[in-house]
């Protein structure tokens, strides 16, 4: 019996020829990630355990992105703790305000992850790097502590579900709609403990940004990881961003899958997840008039340059609705700078949006755009759980950047065609 | 090991954002986290939970964010064990790694019931309704981590081999 792509990466990292579904293994890690919320818990665990080694100072990455620039005194104390610890331990990849970005946009951009890597992160959206052909998955802070100390983690080898993609995406449709469509289909626990392996001739029609967005939300279907095959586009991206050498794994022809879904990309429409689950998806034929108060374009899901590029194109020469606070939050410093250099910041500001420095901010209801009771937000982020962006009685609608900006213009959830001639 | 306690019950897809809302993650202090446990779906929880109570839920418990603050808050609030039809995978490993007792079980349990969980026999006895059900034990590999008091301790003792 052959192995899936994920199983091959796991086998290679635990020194075995083959691994089987359900097998418990201890594997060597290529990278261990934490942020300003999860690292303090990991550091406390690490200190309690009296470990004093770090397995590899270059393979630990700490990104201060959730509540930074520090939202309050407690957040300031937490980042201070991480900063001091990183200095003491000689952690090279410590990213603080000025350098930091939202972790899952930052790591690929900095070339810290490449194809074939095995990565754990104390953040559930660590699954994003599957877009690069890596096995990456979210864990907790204790796993992170053990990973930093010993460079290892335990895994239950997952079975996989194959998503055979074909066709091409239509206008106003991007990776976000593909993954929302899939989550709507399989449910928030449809892929529990499993790998989502994307394949098929449609893969070549998806940009790297589409693939990052799709893998980012694999966790929203309950999956352990999402992963794309490595093709010319992947290798080009890695070459442009990293000095590391990628290792290309691919699924065996006779690999066993729990299920295979055939997805015609050309049939997917702009898709919106209504409160309070990412699986509660609708397309415009089922959406009535939904007035909104806020729009957020940003996050590790859709805070990349191409997301702002398409939004600015729609917005150019128009204004956002006076009653909609529109927050533009580029995910990294590089993207922030590119928006300024290429005139996008001007378009957004003149239209009545604000453009913020990188932060997770409102995505997790941290700061920079918290919702009051009864308020509604269209957001390009990845979760719309109860209270995710503020008051427990506020509502988050997940959408692609095109729908988000169109909604900012009209003041209600809108298809981009409503605002473009 | 046996735990007997009164049940506090929730539904499916209880996510870590409602177990401990992100607005409180600017602290990693267990007591402080516990004082806000479950507040976005159940404002009464903190006031009524007693040491030794058992939390029971539906499928996909602990989905969403990887925050270990969630099992920490539940444990610190006094909950002795969480029983759910299924657990989201990061919550599952966090619970094992931090030593919060969890059980995957699909039997009838209602709010307010008193139940007895026998970890050695793998049985759950509902004292209120006088019924008994079985649950599968953890694989040996994981039992080893639990017995040694969490992941880091188990690593230390076994000379870095997980
Ligand atoms: S942007 Fe949102 S989902 Fe992404 S890492 Fe930050 S808080 Fe998590």
> At B77, which CATH number?
3.20.19.10
Pairing state of beta strands A152-156 and A24-28? Answer: antiparallel
Which residue's CA is the nearest one to ligand 1's atom 6?
Answer: A360
Inter-residue contact A361 to A330 (CB < 8 Å): no
Q: For testing the chain A interface, which of B29, B86, B90 should be mutated: the one with the most A CBs within 10 Å? A: B90
- Using CA atoms, how far residue A209 sits from A227, A353, B111, in Å, is 14, 23, 46
Percent with pLDDT over 90 in chain B: 77
pLDDT of residue B146: 78
Residue B6 Cα to chain centre, angstroms = 14
User: Residue A300: how many CB atoms within 10 A of its CB?
Assistant: 27
C-alpha–C-alpha distance, residues B145 and B147, integer Å: 6
Query: What's the mean pLDDT in A269-273?
Result: 98
Rounded Cα gap, residues B65 and A125, in angstroms: 8
Cβ–Cβ pairs < 8 A, chains A and B: 150
Query: Which pLDDT band, with edges at 50, 70 and 90, does B148 fall under?
Result: confident
Whole-number Cα distances in Å, A66 to A62, A365, A375: 12, 10, 22
Architecture of the domain whose range is A5-264: 2-Layer Sandwich (3.30)
Q: Is A40 on the interface with B (CB under 8 A)?
A: yes
For helices A175-186 and A208-216, the axis angle rounded to 10 degrees is: 30
pLDDT band at B138 (very low <50, low <70, confident <90, very high): confident
Please determine, for residue A381, whether its predicted confidence score (pLDDT) is greater than 60.
Answer: yes
Contact B18 A387 (CB under 8 A): yes
Half-sphere exposure of A94 (CA within 13 A, CB side): 17
Residue A64 Cβ inside 6 Å of ligand 1? The answer reads: no
User: Which of chain A's residues have a Cβ under 8 Å away from the Cβ of B98?
Assistant: 140, 142
Q: pLDDT: is A144 or B143 the higher one? A: A144
The answer to whether A188 contacts chain B (CB < 8 Å) is yes
pLDDT at B158: 56
Q: How far apart are the first and last CA of chain B?
A: 24
Best mutation site among A95, A102, A331 for ligand 1 pocket (most ligand atoms within 8 Å of CB): A102
What pLDDT band is residue A48 in, cutting at 50, 70 and 90?
A: confident
Cβ <8 Å between B98 and A122: no
- Is B43 in CB contact (< 8 Å) with chain A? no
Residues A177/A178/A179/A184 CA torsion (nearest 10 deg): 80
The single-letter DSSP state of residue A230 is -
Residues of chain A with pLDDT > 70: what percent?
100
How many whole angstroms separate alpha carbon A61 and alpha carbon B151? 21
Residue A267, φ and ψ in degrees, nearest 5: -95, -5
Using the beta-carbon criterion (under 8 Å), do B156 and A145 form an inter-chain contact?
A: no
Span B134-149, average pLDDT: 84
Residue B89 and residue A385: Cβ atoms within 8 Å? no
* Residue A388 touches partner B, C-beta closer than 8 Å: yes
Mean pLDDT of chain B: 92
End-to-end, the C-alpha distance of chain A in Å comes to 54
Pocket lining: A33 vs ligand 1, CB cutoff 6 Å: no
| CB contact B155 to A (< 8 Å) | yes
Quote ipTM for the complex: 0.91
Q: What share of chain B is helix, strand, coil (3-state, %, to 5)?
A: 30, 20, 50
Say how far apart CA B46 and CA B25 lie, in whole Å: 17
* Residue B145, SS3 per DSSP: helix
Kindly state the tokens that stand for A42: 């990991």
CA distance A380 to B33: 29
Tell if the CB–CB gap between A188 and B40 is shorter than 8 Å. no
- Residues B48-81 pLDDT 10s: 999 999 999 999 999 999 999 999 999 999 999 9
Least confident of A77-86, B53-62, B96-105: B96-105
Number of folded domains in chain B?
A: 1
- The CATH topology of domain A271-418 is Aconitase; domain 3 (3.30.499)
On whether any CB of chain A is under 8 Å from the CB of B158, the answer is no
| Structural domain spans, chain A | 5-264, 271-418
Domain that holds residue B106: 2-161
Which is it for strands A160-166 and A281-283: parallel, antiparallel or unpaired? unpaired
Query: Is pLDDT above 90 for A365?
Result: yes
pLDDT at site B147? 76
Nearest CA in chain A to B160: A150
Asked if A186 has any chain B CB less than 8 Å from its own CB, the reply is: no
Q: How far does the centroid of ligand 1 lie from the alpha carbon of residue B159, in Å?
A: 35
Nearest to A55 by CA among A77, A75, A83, A27: A27
- At A312-356, the pLDDT tens digits run 999 999 999 999 999 999 999 999 999 999 999 999 999 999 999
CA B42 from centroid of its chain's CA atoms = 17
What SS3 class is residue A118? strand
Residue with tokens 């009545």: A352
Contacts of A124 (CB under 8 A, 6+ apart): A138, A219, B64, B65, B66, B90
Contacts of B67 in chain A (CB under 8 A): 37-38, 140
Mean pLDDT over all residues of chain A?
97
- Say yes or no for a CB contact (<8 Å) between B63 and A189: yes
Per the structure block, which two tokens stand in for A374?
A: 């009864």
Across A370-381, average pLDDT: 98
A381 lines ligand 1 (CB under 6 A): yes
A112-135 mean pLDDT: 98
Kindly report the protein residue whose alpha carbon is nearest to atom 2 of ligand 1. A363
Q: Please write the tens of the pLDDT for every residue from A206-256.
A: 999 999 999 999 999 999 999 999 999 999 999 999 999 999 999 999 999
pLDDT of residue B139: 85
By three-state DSSP, how is residue A299 classified? helix
Compute the residue count for chain A.
421
Q: Do domains A5-264 and A271-418 have the same CATH topology?
A: yes
Ligand 1: nearest atom to the Cα of A364: 7
> How far is the C-alpha of B162 from the C-alpha of B159, rounded, in Å?
8
CB within 8 Å: B17 and A24: no
Q: Within an 8 Å CB–CB cutoff, is residue B66 touching chain A? A: yes
Tokens of A154: 């335990």
Q: Provide the H-helix boundaries in A191-332.
A: 208-216, 232-241, 299-302, 305-315
């Amino acid at each position: 019996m052959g192995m899936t792509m994920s199983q091959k990466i796991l086998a290679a990292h635990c020194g075995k020829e083959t691994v089987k579904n359900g097998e418990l293994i201890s594997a060597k890690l290529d990278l261990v990630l934490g942020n300003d919320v999860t690292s303090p818990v990991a550091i406390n665990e690490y200190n309690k355990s009296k470990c004093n080694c770090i397995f590899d100072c270059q393979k630990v990455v700490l990104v201060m992105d959730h509540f930074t620039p520090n939202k309050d005194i407690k957040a300031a104390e937490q980042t201070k703790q991480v900063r001091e610890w990183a200095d003491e331990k000689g952690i090279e990849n410590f990213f603080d305000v000025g350098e930091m970005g939202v972790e899952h946009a930052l790591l690929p951009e900095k070339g810290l992850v490449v194809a074939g890597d095995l990565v754990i992160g104390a953040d559930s959206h660590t699954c994003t790097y599957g877009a690069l052909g890596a096995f990456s998955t979210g864990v907790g802070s204790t796993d992170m502590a053990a990973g930093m100390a010993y460079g290892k983690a335990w895994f239950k080898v997952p079975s996989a579900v194959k998503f055979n993609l074909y066709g091409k995406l239509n206008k106003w449709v991007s990776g976000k709609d593909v993954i929302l469509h899939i989550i709507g289909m399989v449910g928030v626990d449809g892929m529990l403990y499993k790998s989502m392996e994307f394949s098929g001739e449609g893969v070549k029609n998806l940009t790297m940004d589409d693939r990052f967005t799709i893998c980012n939300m694999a966790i929203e279907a309950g999956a352990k990881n999402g992963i794309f095959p490595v093709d010319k586009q992947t290798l080009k991206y890695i070459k442009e961003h990293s000095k590391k050498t990628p290792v290309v794994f691919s699924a065996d022809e006779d690999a066993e899958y729990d299920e295979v879904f055939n997805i015609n990309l050309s049939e997917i429409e702009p898709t919106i997840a209504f409160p309070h689950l990412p699986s509660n998806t609708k397309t415009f034929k089922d959406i009535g008039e939904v007035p909104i108060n806020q729009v957020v374009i940003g996050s590790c899901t859709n805070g990349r340059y191409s997301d702002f590029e398409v939004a600015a194109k729609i917005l150019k020469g128009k204004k956002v609705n006076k009653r909609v606070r529109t927050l533009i939050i580029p995910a990294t410093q590089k993207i922030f700078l590119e928006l300024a250099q290429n005139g996008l910041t001007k378009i957004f500001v003149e239209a009545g949006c604000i453009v913020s420095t990188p932060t997770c901010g409102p995505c997790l209801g941290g700061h920079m755009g918290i919702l009051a009771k009864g308020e509604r937000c269209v957001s390009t982020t990845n979760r719309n759980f109860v209270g995710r962006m503020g008051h427990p009685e506020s509502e988050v609608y997940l959408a692609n950047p095109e729908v988000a900006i169109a909604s900012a213009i009209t003041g209600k959830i809108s298809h981009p065609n409503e605002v473009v001639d | 090991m046996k735990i007997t306690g009164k049940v506090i019950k929730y539904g499916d897809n209880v996510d870590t954002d409602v177990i401990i809302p992100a607005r409180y993650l600017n602290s990693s202090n267990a007591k402080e986290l516990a004082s806000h446990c479950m507040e976005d779906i159940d404002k009464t929880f903190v006031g009524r939970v007693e040491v030794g109570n058992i939390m029971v839920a539906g499928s996909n418990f602990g989905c969403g964010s990887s925050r270990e603050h969630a099992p920490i808050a539940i444990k610190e609030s006094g909950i002795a064990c969480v029983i759910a039809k299924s657990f989201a995978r990061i919550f599952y490993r966090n619970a094992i790694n931090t030593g919060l007792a969890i059980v995957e079980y699909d039997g009838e349990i209602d709010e307010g019931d008193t139940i007895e969980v026998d970890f050695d026999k793998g049985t759950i006895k509902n004292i209120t309704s006088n019924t008994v059900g079985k649950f599968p034990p953890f694989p040996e590999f994981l039992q080893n981590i639990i017995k040694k008091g969490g992941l880091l301790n188990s690593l230390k003792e076994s000379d870095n081999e997980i």
